[in-house]
Amino acid sequence: MAQKLDYLKETPSQTAGPYVHIGLAPGAAGFDIYRSELGWDIAGPNAAGERIRVEGVVIDGTGNPVKDVLIEAWQANASGVYAHPESGGEVEDGFRGWGRVITDFETGEWGFDTVKPGPVKARRKLGTGPLHEPANAGGDWLGRADEAHENMAPHINLWIVARGINIGLNTRVYFDDEAEANAKDPVLNLIEWQNRRPTLIAKRGERDGKVVYRFDIRLQGENETVFFDI
Amino acid sequence: MSQAEFYQRDRERHPPALTPDYKTSVARSPRNALISLQQSVSEITGPVFGHNDIDPIDNDLIHNYAKAGASAIGERIIVHGRVLDENGRPVAGTLVEAWQANAGGRYRHKKDTYLAPIDPNFGGCGRTITDENGYYFFRTVKPGAYPWRNWVNNWRPAHIHMSIFGTSFSQRLITQCYFEGDPLIAKCPIVKTIPTQDGIDSLVAALDLNATIPLDSIAYKFDIVLRGRRSTLFENRLEGN
C-alpha cells in the first residue's frame, strides 16, 4: 500500500432540472425577488467594439427544440481581455464578459446582445521552448507577451445546463466572418474530424440593421455540436 | 503568475451524460466524445462578483419573499458550509446561488403544476458570496419531496439546487444538496446518475446540531469542493501545495 493522497474530490454535478429559472432567472419562473438579476448585460454601454447579437435554438436527439435550457456566456472584450485579474489588461467600466440567457418556453429560441470579442492569446505551443522555463521573461504560463505564440480566433465560451443534462456542456461560438483566424485556431484544429468544426461557427446575418449571428446547438445526432472537456 | 491550469475533472466521479433511468438524459446526451482542451486564458478566468451585486437579505429564504412580519412555513433550517478546492483551500468571494421547492414540495414556477400549494411567503431562491474562509450559509425551510414524471411513481428526495462559480469558467458547477437520513435518496434515478456511493454521500448534508440555533432553527452542513489548481512547473519550486 502506498501513502494516501489527501486531495479532496470535486463535488459531483447534478442536473439543473426544469426549474433552474427559479434560482438563476426568477423573473422567467414568474416572480420578482431580487433587486437585480445577474447576467442580463454582458458588455455594458461603455464597451468598445462591434455590437452583435448571438442567437439560436438548442435541439435534442429527436430533432426537437429544448425549451428549458439555461446558457451562460463568457467572453473577452473587443481588445481580447477578459474581465478577470488573470487576463492581464483592463476592460471598460461595466464590461462583465459574462451573461446568462434562457430559452423561450414556447419556441426554444435564445439570444444575447454583446460586443464581438477580440482574439486572445493561445497557450504556448508544445515544443516552443524548454518545458520547465517560462515562455520568455515577463511572459506567464499562458505565453502572453511571447511573440511566437498564436492568438485564438475570436470566440465566446458557452456553458449549457438543463433538465436531462447531468453535467454542464462546454462549447465555443466562433464567427464565420473570421475564416482566416478560424483556420489557424488551435482549438478548432484540435478537432480531428474537419467536418465537425463548422458546428462551432456561427453564421453572420443582419436583421433590422443589426448584426445577428446564428448559432444552433445540436445536443445529439446528425451534426452534433462539438462539446469540450475543459 | 504562480498558478497554472486546474486539475483534470474526474469524469468517473461525475455522472456520465447518458443515464437511461433518468429518461430525459437519453435524448439530451451527446453521442460523440468530448474534446479535451488544455486550458487557455478562456478557461482559467471567469466572472467576478461583489457584494454590490446582491443584497444581505438574499440568503434568507425564510424572509426574502415574505410579507412584512411574516415568514415561510416549514421546518426552519440553516444550510451552511465551506467552498473549498481540491487542495483544501477556501474559495473566497465566490457566488453561491440556491433554489428549492417549499415545505410541501411545490416550486414557485409557472411550469410546476403539482397540487401541493404555493406558500405565499416563500419564493424559493437565494444567493450569497463566500467570506474570506470560503464560508457561506443560507437560512430557509426544509424542502418537501415531490413527484415527477419519470417512472410513474418517482419522488425526488428533499433537495436544494446549488450553483457555484469558483474563480474560473472551468470550475463552474451546479449540483444538488440532499439531507441526511432521507430514504428517498437511495431510490432516486437522478441521484443514481452518480456512479459511486462516495460521490453520492458527498451530496448529503449532515445534521449539524452544533450549528443549530436553539429554539429557532436546525442546521445542516454542506461543504462544496471545486476543482483544484496546479502550481506552475515553470518555476524552481512548487508553491503552496
Residue B208, pLDDT above cutoff 70: yes
The tens digit of pLDDT for each residue in A65-92 reads: 999 999 999 999 999 999 999 888 899 9
Does the CB of A48 have a partner CB in chain B at under 8 Å? no
How confident is the model at residue A128, as a pLDDT?
Answer: 52
pLDDT band at B234 (very low <50, low <70, confident <90, very high): very low
Q: Report the alpha-carbon distance of residue B19 to residue A44 in Å, rounded.
A: 40
Say how many Å lie between the first and final Cα of chain A, rounded.
Answer: 32
| B-chain residue closest to A67, CA distance | B111
| Whole-number pLDDT of residue B2 | 46
Nearest to B41 by CA among A121, A78, A115: A121
Q: Which residue of A has its CA nearest to B113?
A: A19
Residues 63-102 of B with CB under 8 A from A: 64-65, 84-88, 95, 97-100
Residues of B assigned a catalytic role? 107, 146, 156, 159, 161
**CB atoms B86 and A10 under 8 Å:** yes
Lowest mean pLDDT among A141-150, B142-151, B156-165, B217-226: A141-150
SS3 B32: coil
Question: Over 60: is that where the pLDDT of B240 sits?
Answer: no
Which of A38, A83, A168 is closest, CB to CB, to B174? A168
Predicted TM-score (pTM) of the model is: 0.94
Residues of B with Cβ-Cβ distance to A123 under 8 angstroms: 38-40
Instruction: Considering only CA atoms, give the Rg of chain A.
Output: 19
pLDDT at B232: 58
Q: What is the ipTM of this complex?
A: 0.95
**Yes or no, beta carbons of B170 and A230 under 8 Å apart:** yes
Strand A156-162 relative to strand A69-74, pairing: antiparallel
Per-residue pLDDT of A109-122, as tens digits, reads: 999 999 999 999 88
For A224, the closest of B13, B32, B43 (CB atoms) is B32
Task: Judge residue B20's burial from the number of C-beta atoms within 10 Å of its C-beta, 0-12 exposed, 13-18 middle, 19 or more buried.
Answer: exposed
Instruction: List the single residue in A with minimal CA-CA distance to B19.
Output: A166
Of A36, A87, A163, the CB nearest to B24: A163
Is residue A182 helix, strand or coil?
helix
Chain A hits for B47, Cβ within 8 Å: 74, 83-84, 96-98
Contact A12 B175 (CB under 8 A): yes
Q: Does A147 touch chain B (CB under 8 A)?
A: no
pLDDT attached to residue A134: 37
pLDDT in tens, A144-195: 444 445 789 999 999 999 999 999 999 999 999 999 999 999 999 999 999 9
Q: How far is A208 from chain B (nearest CA, A)?
A: 31
- B27 touches A: beta carbon within 8 Å: yes
Q: Helix (H) and strand (E) counts for chain A?
A: 3, 12
Tens digit of each residue's pLDDT (9 = 90 or more) over A19-64: 999 999 999 999 999 999 999 999 999 999 999 999 999 999 999 9
| Dihedral pair phi/psi, residue B181, rounded to 5° | 85, 0
pLDDT score of B196 more than 50: yes
Per the CB < 8 Å rule, is B97 touching A24?
Answer: yes
- pLDDT tens-digit map of B27-82: 999 999 999 998 999 999 999 999 999 999 999 999 999 999 999 999 999 999 99
Contact check, Cβ <8 Å, B27/A190: no
Contacting residues for A143 by C-beta, under 8 A, at least 6 apart: A121, A122, A123, A124, A125, A135, A149
How far B16 CA sits from the closest chain A CA (Å)?
A: 7
Average pLDDT over residues B98-118: 97
Q: Is the pLDDT of residue A132 over 50?
A: no
